[in-house]
Structure 1
Amino acid sequence: MGGAEASICSEKSAWSGDQPKSLEIVADARSVLGMEKVSLDSRSSSEVPVRNSRSWNTIIASCSKTLDFSDVWRLYALMRQAGGRPDSYNLVFAIQACAEMSSIQRAKSVHCDALRWGLDAQEHVAPALVKMYAGLGFLEDARDFCCGVLPGRSILWGLTMRGLLKSSKDVEVLDLFSLMNRLGTQVDPSSAVHVAQALGNLAGGEVGGSFHSLWIRNGVLGSNTRLLTSLVDMYGKSGMLADACKLFEEIDDKDIVLWSLMVARLAQNGKSVEALRAFQRMLAAMVMPNEVTVASALFACSQLGALLHGESLHGFAIRNGIRLDLVMSTALLDMYAKCGSIWSSRKVFDGMPVRNVFSWSAIIGGFGLQGLCSEALALFDQMKEEQVEPNAVTFVSILSACSHSGELEEGRRRFESMSRDFGIAPEDEHYACMVDLLGRAGLLDEAALLIQGMPAAPGAGVWGALLGACRIHRRVGLAEKAAGELFLLEPDQPGAYVLLSNVYAAAGMREMVEKTRAEMKRKGLRKMSGFSSVEVGEKVYLFLAKNPAASIDATVGELSRRLSSQMKAMGYVPDVSFALHDGG
C-alpha cells in the first residue's frame, strides 16, 4: 500500500467489538434464507453459523431494508470478526451505513478493507466511497480519491462536485472541473450539470456560454433534459434572460421542473408580466403547476401589485389541491401585503400551522410597508415570545418599518439592539435602512458619519440611500461624494447619474445638469423607463413613464387625459421638483 492507503489503514479497525443489537432482525433474515432461527450471543462471533459470503450478503441486504444502519454496520463488523471476506456487494452496504451514521472512523475502516482486498476501484465500490466522503463533508478525501484511484471515471468527479455544491463551494467545483480537464477526463452530463449549477450560483453565465457551446460540439449535451434545464437556470441566475428564453424555447419536452424554473427566473429578474405569461402557457401545455411554480407566480403578482391575479392564484391552488406549505404560504402572505391587502396577509399568517423566521419577517415587513409601524413592532415582540429567533432579514423588515413611518428613535434602538441583544452584525442592507431613516429626518451629516464608521466598505445600497436623501434636501456637495462612490461601484448603471442630475436641477445648476447628461451619453448609459401598473378585471395595464400613451389602449388613454384636464381645471399643479430627469 502507498502512503495514502497506509494512512487510511493505520487506525485501529472501527468495527472490532461491535455486535448486532437487533437480534430479531438477524433471525428474520435467516428465516428468509430457510435457516433455522437461532439466537446470536453478542459475546462471541464464533457462535455464528454462517460461513459463506452469500449468506452474509443476504442477511446484510435484508437488514438494510429496515434502514437501521447501525445494525447493518454491526453485521458487517461481525462478518469480519468471523473471518468473512469483504466483497463489492457487502462493502457498498457498509459504506452506505457509515455515511448514514456520520462516522468517519468507520468510514476509514471500511475504506481500508476496500484497499486491502483490491476493491476500492471496483465499479460500485468507488462511487459509494466518493459519495460517502462527500456526504460526510470530507471533500478533500473525495477529491484525492478521484485523482488517485480512477481519474478517468467521470462519475466519481460528478459525485465530488455534488458534495461541493451542497457545501456551497461553487468556486471549488470549477477548480475541480479544471483539474478534470487537465487530467484528460472526459466530462459526462452529470458532471456538466454540476458545473452549470456552480456557474449559475456565481452568475457566471458568460463563461457558461462557452462551456455550453463546447458541450454541444463534443456531444455531451444531446437531449439531456437535466443538463438543458441546468443551463437555462444558469442563464437565468446570471441575468441573461434572452439566452435563457432562447434555450427554453428550443427544448421540446418541457417538464414541470423546467416550467417552474422559467417562471421563477423571469419573476426574479423583474419580468413579472412575462413570468405570468409563462405560467399561463404552462397551463395551456397541460402541465400542472406545483407549490414552487405557484409561489413564483405569486412573487410576480407582488411585484406588479396585481391583487386580483394573486387572489386567482390562491383560489387555483385551493381548487387543485396544491398544498399550502411553508414556502407557499409565505409567498401568499407576502403577495397580499405588497398588493395593499395587509389584513388578508395577516389572515394567511394567522392560519399557518407552522411559521418560521421568514414568515415572521415577511408579515413584519408587510405591515411596515403600509406604514403600520406599531403593528410591525408588536408582531416582532410576539415573535420573540414564541421563541422564534430573528435573523438579519427580520431586522431589515423592522428598520424598513421604522423608516417608512419616520420612527427615528425606535429605529435607532432597534439598530443598536441587533448586535447587543441578538448577536447579529449589521450588514449593508441594515446600514442602508438607517441612512434612509436619517435622511428622511434631514440628518444627513449623521448619516454620513454612520457610513464613515462602518466596519466594511459601504455597498451601492448605502451610497444610493444617501444620494436619494441628498436629492430631497438638496445637499450638492454630499451628493457628489455619494455619486462618486456609486460611479466606482456600478460604472454601468445610470441611476447615480440621474439622481445627481436631479440634485443639480433642484439647486438650479443647469450647467452641471447638462454636463452630467453629456457624461451619461458619452458612456452610452440610458435610464430604463419607469412604469406603474393598474389591474382592471383580468388585465394588468402598464403605464410607461417615458411614453404613457404607447403603453395603454385608446380608452384608458382618453380617460387618463380627461382626468388630467379636470385636475388642472380644479387648480392642481404637479410638484415636479423631485421628478427624475431622464438623461437619455
Structure 2
Amino acid sequence: MFSKSNLQDSPFMVFAQIVTFGLDTDHFVSNALVSAFANSGFMLSAHQVFDQSSSKDVVAWTALINGYVKNDCPSKAIKCFLDMRSTGTRIDGVTIVSILRAAAMVGDAYFGKWVHGFYVLAGRVELDSYICSALVDMYFKCGHCDDAWEVFDEMPYRNVVSWTTVIAGYVQCNKFQDAQRVFSDMMLTNIMPNEFTLTSVLSACAHTGALDQGRLVHQYIECNKVKLNSALGTALVDMYAKCGCIGEAVRVFENLLIKDVYTWTAMINGLAVHGDALGALNIFSCMLRNCIQPNEVTFIGVLSACSHGGFVEEGKRLFESMSKVYHLKPNMDHYGCMVDLLGRAGHLEDAKKIIDNMPMKPSPGVLGALFGACMIHKAFEMGECIGNNLINLQPNHSGRYALLANLYSMCRNWEAASQVRKFMKGVQVEKTPGYSWIEVNGLIHEFKAFDHSHNESSGVYSILDNLILQLNLAGQVLDCEDLNILGSNTGEG
C-alpha cells in the first residue's frame, strides 16, 4: 500500500482520515496501519499503533517484525519475534520467512538453525518454496554452504527464485565454481533464468576467468532478448574486463542504454587494471559530464589508474577532491592507492608521510604497498624496517617472511635472508600454496603450487623446465624472486 518511494506523509494523511471516521479501533485497519507505517520507514509510529491495538494477532506481529527487517533493524526484529513467542501468539510461515531474513542479516546461524529445527523440521509451519528460499539464503549468508545446499537439494519444488538464491549464495561465499555448476544444472531444467540469475553467474565467471561460459551467458541474453538493466549490464562489463577482453567490455559499455555509477565504475576499474590509465581517466571525466556522482569504489579505480600511469599530481588532486568536492571520506583502500601511487613514482618519503598521517592504523596491505615500492627502488633500509613491521603484524603470514628474505637477497645480504627463513621454520609458519585457474575449451582447471595431482601436471612442469632452459640459453639472468616463482611451479625448493 505504501512504500518509501511514495509521498512520505501518506500514512499520516490516511491515519488522520481513519481517526476522523472512528476506524482506529478496527482490528483489520489497525494491522494495515502497522504495515503502512513500517513499509514507509516510520517504525516509531508503527510501534505506537501496534501498542494501542487491542488485539495483537499474528498479522500485527509479523507486520512489525517485517518492518524492522525492511528498515535494517534485524536485532529489533529478533527481539520482537521472541516477545511474540512469549505471548503465545501463533506463528505462521510468513513470520518464519521474515525472522529467517533477520537471522541472515545478523549472521546468527545458531538462531537460524533453531528456527529451522523447531518450526520447520518439527512441522509447526508448513514448508513451502518461500520458507525454503529463506532458509537457503540464511544459511549462505551465515557461511553454512553445506546446510544451504542440503535444504535446496530436498526442496520438493524449485522455481527461479530458489535456483537464483543458491547461485547468488555460492557467489557470496566465494564458491564461484559451485555457482557455475548450479547454473549449468538449472539450464538443464525448464526453468528460465532471470536478470538476477544471470547477474550472479556472470559474477562467478568474472572471478574464475571463465570467459567461454561468460560468452555463452551473453549469447543467451541476446538470443532471448533479456532486458539489460544496469546491474546485468555492469556484470557483463565486469566479466569481460576481468577475463582479459577489455575491448568487448568497452563495446558492451558503449551499447548500454542505462548506466549507473556501478556501470561507470566497472568500466573505469577494468581499464585501470589493464593499464589504460588515460582511458580510465577519460571515462571518469565522461561520467562527471553525464552528472553521475562517483562513489568510494570509483575513486579506487581512478587512483589505481593514476598509479599505473604515473600521474602523481592528478592522483593527488583526485584524492583531495574526494572530501572537498564529493564529500566522500577516504578509507583504507584509498590511502593504499595513494601510497602505491607515490611509491611507484619513487616518492618514498611522501608515501611514508601518507602512512604516518593516516587517521587510522595502516593495514598490512598499505604497508605492503610501500614495501613493494622499496623493492622496486632498492630502498633497502626503509624496506627492512617495513618488512619487520609486517612480520610483527602478521607473524603467521608466510608471505611476509618470504618478502623480507627476498629483499635481503636483492641486496646480497645472504646471511640475513637465511636468518629470516630459519626464523620462519622455527616458529613453524607453513608457506601457503598458491592457486591458479585457467579455462580451456569451457573447462576450468585448478592448479596448486607443489601439487602434482592434476592429470596434465607432468606436461605443465615439463614445459616450465624447458622455459627455464631456454631463458638460460638466451642469457637471461633470473633474480631470486623469479626463481622462487618458477621453482614453486616446477616443484623444486
- The equivalent residue for 1:370 is 274
CA distance in 1, matches of 2:308, 2:3: 54
Deviations for 1:512-566, whole angstroms, at most 9, x for unmatched residues?
Answer: 4444455566xxxx7764322222222222222241x313x33x64254135324
Corresponding residue for 1:503? Answer: 403
Partner residue, 2:446: 542
- Over aligned residues, Cα RMSD in angstroms? 3.2
Corresponding residue number in structure 2 for 1:109: 16
Structure 1 pair 401–171 and aligned structure 2 pair: CA distance change class (3 A): farther
Tell me the amino acid that sits aligned with residue 389 of structure 2: K
Displacement of 1:233 in angstroms is 1.2
Residues of 2 paired with 1:207 and 1:462: CA distance? 37
Aligned letter for 2:327? G
Distance 2:418 2:366 in 1: 27
SS of 1:422 mapped into structure 2: coil
Any idea what SS the aligned residue of 1:219 has?
coil
After superposition, the Cα gap between the structure-2 partners of 1:211 and 1:432, relative to the gap in structure 1 and judged at 3 Å, is farther
Counterpart Cα distance in 2 of 1:264 and 1:290: 12
**Match among 446, 459, 464 for residue 558 of structure 1:** 459
The amino acid that maps onto 1:499 is G
| Identity %, equivalent residues | 30
Helix, strand or coil: the match of 1:542? strand
Answering whether residue 142 of structure 2 is matched by residue 242 of structure 1, we say no
Question: Are residue 568 (structure 1) and residue 469 (structure 2) matched?
Answer: yes
Segment of structure 1 superposing worse, 99-108 or 171-180:
99-108
Q: Give 1:568's aligned amino acid.
A: L
Question: Which 10-residue stretch deviates more, 234-243 or 271-280?
Answer: 234-243
2:58 touches 2:91 (CA, 8 Å); kept in 1? yes
Structure 1 residues 464-503: aligned runs within 5 Å: 465=369, 475-485=383-393, 497-503=397-403
**Residues 479 and 500 in structure 1, CA contact (< 8 A), matched pair in contact too:** yes
Distance in 2 of aligned mates of 1:463 and 1:224: 51
CA distance in 2, matches of 1:137, 1:540: 46
Partner of 2:256: helix, strand, or coil? coil
- The structural deviation recorded for 1:379 is 0.8
Query: Could you tell me how far 1:237 is from its partner in structure 2?
Result: 2.1
Separation (CA, whole Å) in 2 of partners of 1:463 and 1:98: 44
1:119 pairs with 25, 29, 36, which one? 25
| Residues 254-312 of structure 1: per-residue CA shift (max 9 Å, x gap) | 21111112112212322221111111000112221111111111111111222222111
Q: Is the 8 A contact 2:436 2:446 kept in 1?
A: yes
| CA distances 1:132-179 after superposition (whole Å, capped 9, x unpaired) | 111232102212333442575222222223222332223332332343
State the secondary structure of the residue aligned to 2:329.
coil
TM-score by length of 1: 0.72
Distance 1:158 1:352, change over 3 A: same
List gaps (5 residues or longer) in structure 1. 1-94, 488-493
Q: Give distance in 1, aligned partners of 2:13 and 2:177.
A: 54
Give 1 or 2 for the bigger CA radius of gyration.
1
SS, match of residue 102 in structure 1: coil
Q: 1:280 aligns with which of 169, 178, 184?
A: 184
Distance 2:3 2:450 in 1: 64
Matched with 2:261 is 357
1:205·1:234 contact (CA, 8 Å) conserved in 2? yes
How much does 1:366 deviate? 0.6
Structure 2: distance between partners of 1:142 and 1:461: 46
2:232 maps to 1:335: no
> Is the contact made by 1:196 and 1:208 (CA closer than 8 Å) also made in structure 2?
yes
Q: CA–CA distance in 2 between the matches of 1:169 and 1:338?
A: 36
1:267 is aligned to 2:167: no
Distance 2:370 2:317 in 1: 21
Distance 2:81 2:326 in 1: 41
Name which of structure 1's ranges 166-175 and 505-514 shifts more when overlaid on structure 2: 505-514
Aligned residue pairs total: 470
Between 511-520 and 134-143, report the one with greater CA deviation.
511-520
